[in-house]
Structure 1
């Protein structure tokens, strides 16, 4: 009996020694959050290697999505200076199940290099940063679990930026990933993203709203015909009627067919208060802001159509360090205003987008249609300003759209076709544009020339 008892103790001793020597016990992957943690822990250890640090720095500086982000799915097979792939370098510090899950379970897993007081992608030299996890798509937290190579995980503030080197593991805000095998319903943002920018064995990747992630939009002046109309008598009425239909009653021009050479553009975007910035930029892990502006139109059949455009900008572009409100000109191209088929009113909603769990929102819009149209040779000619003197009819529609819990809703605004575009001249060549407000954001909607294909 004593020998048997001694043998049991000996086996327990060796088991204890074995466990104490094993740094990375196998942990079942039971949630998306655990994949973020395993990735952050492996990255924290891999960053001890100079080649890994150099790789992450160089990829962040490319700003492939417009910010200092490194999308793991896009770079995992790229090679470090020593010839290893990035995936291989991280796999040395993780379990195989975790490595497989990073790509299949977290296709938008991203390493963000923030611009801190003492650390940034541009200034990164030999520092070995810790790795914080911001899983705000699961739940908003005031603290972030942070991993270091030689210490236990600890917590840091999500609201106050640290004064030591840290990179962030998070979900990408500028790209959506659609599974090749899943048939689930798409969110509104996913449905508005249709151009594939790359793909893996399991997912296809899209820039949100098909925005250009690398090229800053070109600047287009106001159409010459619109400026000419403003400089004539009664400058504030019928500006769009003149531009789209060549209608100008004061000169005897009472009818015309719609020009397809102009599309409306979102210009001169501005927050209404510094408090708005604090509401949408409460976490230092945010990076650039993603302002989603959605145009809602109701057609003659009563169907609601949404069109998403995205303005990506740094917080400092909207509010200065002295809390002065600044204006940006994203010059986001929308579409032409087809009054016959889409009525005389457009509705806009504005969101600051961040990933999150699904939430449903009710969206509604309405418009009014005129009957002042005549068909000639297969084309519809418009007669008179606005909806004319004939009887008009209204249409309204509503729909449930799926957003995310991380998205901040910034209100809505309406614009009518007869609203002036230009309000006054500012100097020799500058003009003040009419703006609309959601309460949190103001912006102008002004016609511009259609950008030819290939110039976008």
Structure 2
């Protein structure tokens, strides 16, 4: 006989499942009504009350029919996905709309059988970076690599921003709603807005193509997988987990290892040796341009469910909601979690105070697969997988992310790094001021014939404080994960043993200090040689 605690637990589980089912049904009814409304509004040319989610559903319902009826349309999508123009299996609609099948019909003409011309124009106008994403699903169920276009007719999912549920369309119309923690075990492609390619007329970004929407451009060069001659090149992500396979140290750590040996912890600043060759036997030295700061590794911190949900609060991001089926049908390792959007994108903002009293904000990005950040397991339940457990994993970058060269004659002795998970591209720039500390022990030395740092640390001269003004960028909708402070005088290494080797790397990294962390993440920062 079950005890009272077990009965209460069963009742709570049943209540949760019933609640989930009712919510899904309500969403289905609501979204079906919205689909009818968007059809009416679009057909009448009225877009006042039409959201981007409604536009994506309109497009997705038509695209499902096109994929079902035309093998060559499937071939076009697969071919373009394999090019990975932004390092993910993303296909921009604007780049394939004029591709023709053997009958001479373009993809756009095939869509116009199910969408009026004016409606399709509105969709493209409002979502110029409309994208068809081909996910990598568990156990080789489906991917761009394994897609057999002859017998695999994918359904079409729509990544929403207004809901975490995922509507699925087939040739018959809206077929079902997937819960946020469910991963399909059947062929499916995803209609979404691209986070790595945006509408931009800026000359500072690499243009993907020119069109009447001012052109599409990569958000950052780290997402640009096009060669200079515009031939599409497939390059797999170099941001991987680590292993203990190499017995040879990465040569970029040579100077760092020397600093660890020549300047033991607590006896001086190891970066003095790296950037100026300063040690107990060599008190002065000019700046060395062969080294700069790098971001070598990254991991999410703390409770894994909280970490996943923090960076996945947008409806389209990979999410974890626990096991809601109550049925475990054999544990499997999930390869395709985060299936509706591929990789995570992270924005790194480095704030460096300059002696000119104007601070610099250096911005760069990196991308990581959900399955490289989290060890996720799930249960197969019919034609879906249900995620029910996960844990954080450390990522070491085979290509570390360059930040800046830390010359104390120009920059403050303290810098700040802020991290965001990218969900949007609308940026607001604000002015911020702070007081920063600068070293003054610099002067011309005839022996070197240039300005040198005079002594370790702050030398015999007094340090100075200045108020520095920054232009600080904030992106609306991004998940802000906090800031870390790095001091020039911080010890760099825990010891000179191996921290691990990136999975596709040749050498191991030295065991860097774990001190740069917030409640959400941890960074591994160290200088390294540039060549």
Pairwise TM-score range, normalised by the shorter structure: 0.7 to 0.9
TM-score by length of 2: 0.69
Q: Which of the numbers 337, 345, 356 marks the counterpart of 2:406?
A: 337
Name the structure 2 match of 1:45: 65
Q: Which of the numbers 412, 433, 444 marks the counterpart of 2:524?
A: 444
Name the structure 2 match of 1:5: none
Contact between 1:268 and 1:444, CA under 8 Å: does it hold in 2? yes
What does residue range 127-138 of structure 1 map to in structure 2 within 5 Å? 127-136=152-161
Please state whether the residue corresponding to 1:316 is helix, strand or coil. helix
Deviates more, 1:215-224 or 1:391-400: 215-224
Contact between 1:225 and 1:243, CA under 8 Å: does it hold in 2? yes
What does residue range 313-324 of structure 1 map to in structure 2 within 5 Å? 313-321=368-376, 323-324=390-391
1:393 aligned onto 2:464: yes
Contact between 2:61 and 2:174, CA under 8 Å: does it hold in 1? no
Q: Which of the numbers 388, 404, 410 marks the counterpart of 2:476?
A: 404
Name the structure 1 match of 2:275: 244
Q: CA deviation at 1:119?
A: 3.2
Q: Which of the numbers 200, 203, 206 marks the counterpart of 1:178?
A: 200
Name the structure 1 match of 2:436: 367
Q: CA deviation at 1:417?
A: 0.7
Name the structure 2 match of 1:63: 84
Name the structure 1 match of 2:21: none
Q: CA deviation at 1:96?
A: 1.3
> What is the rounded CA distance, in whole Å, between the counterparts of 2:422 and 2:357 in structure 1?
28
Runs of 4+ in 1 over 6 A off after TM superposition: 22-25, 356-364
> What is the rounded CA distance, in whole Å, between the counterparts of 1:79 and 1:367 in structure 2?
60
Unaligned runs of 5+ in 2: 1-38, 226-234, 240-248, 313-317, 320-337, 378-389, 499-506
Contact between 2:374 and 2:393, CA under 8 Å: does it hold in 1? yes
Unaligned runs of 5+ in 1: 1-21, 181-190, 452-456
Name the structure 2 match of 1:227: 257
What does residue range 45-194 of structure 1 map to in structure 2 within 5 Å? 45-48=65-68, 49-80=70-101, 83-117=104-138, 118-125=141-148, 126-136=151-161, 139=162, 141-152=163-174, 155-179=177-201, 194=205
> What is the rounded CA distance, in whole Å, between the counterparts of 2:173 and 2:205 in structure 1?
44
> What is the rounded CA distance, in whole Å, between the counterparts of 2:439 and 2:263 in structure 1?
25
Aligned-residue Cα RMSD (Å) equals 3.2
Q: CA deviation at 1:81?
A: 5.4
Q: Which of the numbers 247, 268, 276 marks the counterpart of 2:297?
A: 268
Q: CA deviation at 1:47?
A: 0.9
Q: CA deviation at 1:104?
A: 3.2
Q: Which of the numbers 513, 516, 519 marks the counterpart of 1:434?
A: 513
Question: Deviations for 1:255-296, whole angstroms, at most 9, x for unmatched residues?
Answer: 222122222110121122323134324444232111222111
Name the structure 1 match of 2:43: 26
Contact between 1:51 and 1:82, CA under 8 Å: does it hold in 2? no
> What is the rounded CA distance, in whole Å, between the counterparts of 1:75 and 1:220 in structure 2?
42
Structure 1 residues 122 and 238: CA distance shift in structure 2, 3 A: same
Contact between 1:262 and 1:336, CA under 8 Å: does it hold in 2? yes
TM-score by length of 1: 0.80
Deviates more, 1:280-289 or 1:43-52: 280-289
Name the structure 1 match of 2:242: none
Larger RCO: 1 or 2 (CA < 8 Å, sep 6+): 2
Structure 1 residues 55 and 361: CA distance shift in structure 2, 3 A: same
